[in-house]
């Protein structure tokens, strides 16, 4: 075997360290967990999501498996990780990370919950405190890898980083050694990743809503396989020709942009007000500000200029037909048009019933999207990390109105402002599925450090009405 690639060793060192998250990271992790559970409960109302849940073969039973949040199903940990992650991710409403690569760090929570719950139900409990620390570490591995490695630029999908992070931390939660973590993570890189084709027109489709579930379940499978003694491939990244860097990353070196600590959890971005792809959050916010000035004037609009970042221009600026919800919820112009027309944006606005409104395409046809180089620089600035959008509307009489928002409500610098909105978001998402007392109990148990000794299985049980 070749020497262990330095990146594999760095990840394993961090996963196996005597790690104590920063107080800010732990406080944020509590919000991430609550928010993710709310997103999962809301997804239970989506038939396209729920049809994917449950055992692969109907009637299959796993008596000592992991319970799935919100559903009451008891499955093997691999399928439980798929189901939990797919629920969390489905509505594109969970937390976000934007850098050279894009990601949703809470995509890791389903894998961690499945492993932790399975352990609890088999006499080896994991506490809420341990889960929160594991979340901080999984977020950090995924997010720091995303800071300096743009897999999207070579057509590879970011769920690769869910598989890498979850395989590392799931292996550790299963009692794996440093060598086990190296081996599991090597398999994650060896797998490679799906292509991004299902995220972009003309092929945008619903796979993007379960791609993270696929990655999380694979991570748990690799962790379990490694704990059975499966060997790893320590040169998986750097081996000439056959390694990941040469074979899949066009000869580029995969690096960690900075030491692994608590940075990502501290800076994670919440989708607080709108279920919009995060590069468009501030565009929606700006559009809602402009809406009152547009009532009765839509026919007088001559043109709309949206100023944005290079990343948003490349990812979600889309012209042409949008034939399904997956295409609409990744279109900057569509979400902006909805917010201009209605002063709001909801999950239902991506459905066909709303998408066929002719007023939307009339507004889209008047839109022109341009880049602000300064906003693109601020987007990548580790001290700023803004996600700005501006809208300028020109009327037929030559007058204009405009608004711009640089920091979305879910940004770290607006965390105090966002806090009550996050609690309200969870309550709204959970209300159709949990009685008021159970919602209050679940919120209190997660947010109060006095309950950190609680087994994760008790937390999962509280999500099932």
- Give the CATH number of the domain where residue 34 resides: 1.10.4100.10
Task: Encode pLDDT of 271-304 as tens digits.
Answer: 998 888 889 999 999 999 999 999 999 999 999 9
Looking at the predicted structure, is the pLDDT value of residue 408 above 80? yes
Tokens of 394: 């020109």
Same domain for 186 and 165: yes
Domain extent for 290: 278-408
35 and 178 in one domain?
yes
Same domain, 77 and 215: yes
Q: How many Cβ atoms are within 10 Å of 459's Cβ, its own excluded?
A: 23
pTM attached to this predicted model: 0.89
Q: Are residues 180 and 64 located together in one domain of the fold?
A: yes
For the chain, the straight-line distance linking the first and the last C-alpha, in angstroms and rounded, comes to 51
Q: Tell me, yes or no, whether 16 and 135 share the same domain.
A: yes
- Do 79 and 194 belong together in one domain? yes
Average pLDDT, the chain: 96
Tell me the backbone φ, ψ of residue 216, rounded to 5 degrees: -65, -40
Candidates 259, 248, 275, 363; CA nearest to 95 is 275
Domain-embedded: residue 417: no
In a domain, 230, yes or no: yes
Name the domain count of the chain: 2
Residues 245 and 343 in one domain: no
Q: Do 53 and 106 share a structural domain? A: yes
Strand partners, 306: 369, 391
What is the percent of the chain with per-residue pLDDT over 90, rounded to a whole number? 90
Residue 90 lies in a domain: yes
Residues 178 and 322 in one domain: no
Distance, in Å, from the CA atom of 198 to the CA atom of 179, rounded to the nearest integer, reads: 35
Give 200's pLDDT tier (boundaries 50, 70, 90): confident
What's the pLDDT at 392?
98
- Choose the final residue of a domain: 393, 408, 423: 408
């Amino acid at each position: 075997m070749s020497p262990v690639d330095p990146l594999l060793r760095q990840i394993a060192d961090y996963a196996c360290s005597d790690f104590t998250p920063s107080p800010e990271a732990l406080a944020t992790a509590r919000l991430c967990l609550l928010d993710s559970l709310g997103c999962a409960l809301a997804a239970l109302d989506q038939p396209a999501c729920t049809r994917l849940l449950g055992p692969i073969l109907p009637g299959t039973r796993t008596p000592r498996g992991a319970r799935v949040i919100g559903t009451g199903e008891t499955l093997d940990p691999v399928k439980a990780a798929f189901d939990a992650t797919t629920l969390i991710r489905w509505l594109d409403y969970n937390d976000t990370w934007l850098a050279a690569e894009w990601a949703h760090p809470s995509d890791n929570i389903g894998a961690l919950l499945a492993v932790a719950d399975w352990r609890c139900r088999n006499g080896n409990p994991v506490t809420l405190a341990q889960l929160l620390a594991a979340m901080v570490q999984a977020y950090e591995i995924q997010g720091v890898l995303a800071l300096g490695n743009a897999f999207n630029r070579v057509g590879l999908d970011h769920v690769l980083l869910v598989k890498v992070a979850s395989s590392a931390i799931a292996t550790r939660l299963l009692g794996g050694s440093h060598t086990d973590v190296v081996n599991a993570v090597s398999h994650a890189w060896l797998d490679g990743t799906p292509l991004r084709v299902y995220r972009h027109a003309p092929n945008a489709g619903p796979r993007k809503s379960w791609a993270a579930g696929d990655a999380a379940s694979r991570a748990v499978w690799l962790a379990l396989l490694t704990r059975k003694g499966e060997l790893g491939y320590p040169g998986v990244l750097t081996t000439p020709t056959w390694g990941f860097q040469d074979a899949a990353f066009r000869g580029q070196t995969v690096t960690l942009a900075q030491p692994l600590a608590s940075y990502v959890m501290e800076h994670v971005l919440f989708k607080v007000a709108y279920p919009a792809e995060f590069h468009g959050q501030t565009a929606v916010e700006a559009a809602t500000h402009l809406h009152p000035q547009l009532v009765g004037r839509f026919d007088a609009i001559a043109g709309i200029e949206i100023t944005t970042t290079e990343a948003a221009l490349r990812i979600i600026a889309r012209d042409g037909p949008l034939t399904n919800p997956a295409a609409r919820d990744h279109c900057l112009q569509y979400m902006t048009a909805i917010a201009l027309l209605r002063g709001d944006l909801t999950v239902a606005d991506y459905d066909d019933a709303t998408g066929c409104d002719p007023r939307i395409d009339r507004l889209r046809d008047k839109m022109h999207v341009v880049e602000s180089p300064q906003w693109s620089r601020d987007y990548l600035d580790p001290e700023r990390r803004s996600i700005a959008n501006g809208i300028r509307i020109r009327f037929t009489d030559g007058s204009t109105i405009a608004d711009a928002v640089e920091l979305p409500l879910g940004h770290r610098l607006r965390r105090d402002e966002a806090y009550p909105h996050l609690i309200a978001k969870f309550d709204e998402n959970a209300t159709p599925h949990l009685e008021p007392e159970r919602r209050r109990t679940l919120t209190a148990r997660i947010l109060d450090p006095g309950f950190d000794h609680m087994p994760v299985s008790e937390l999962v049980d509280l999500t099932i009405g």
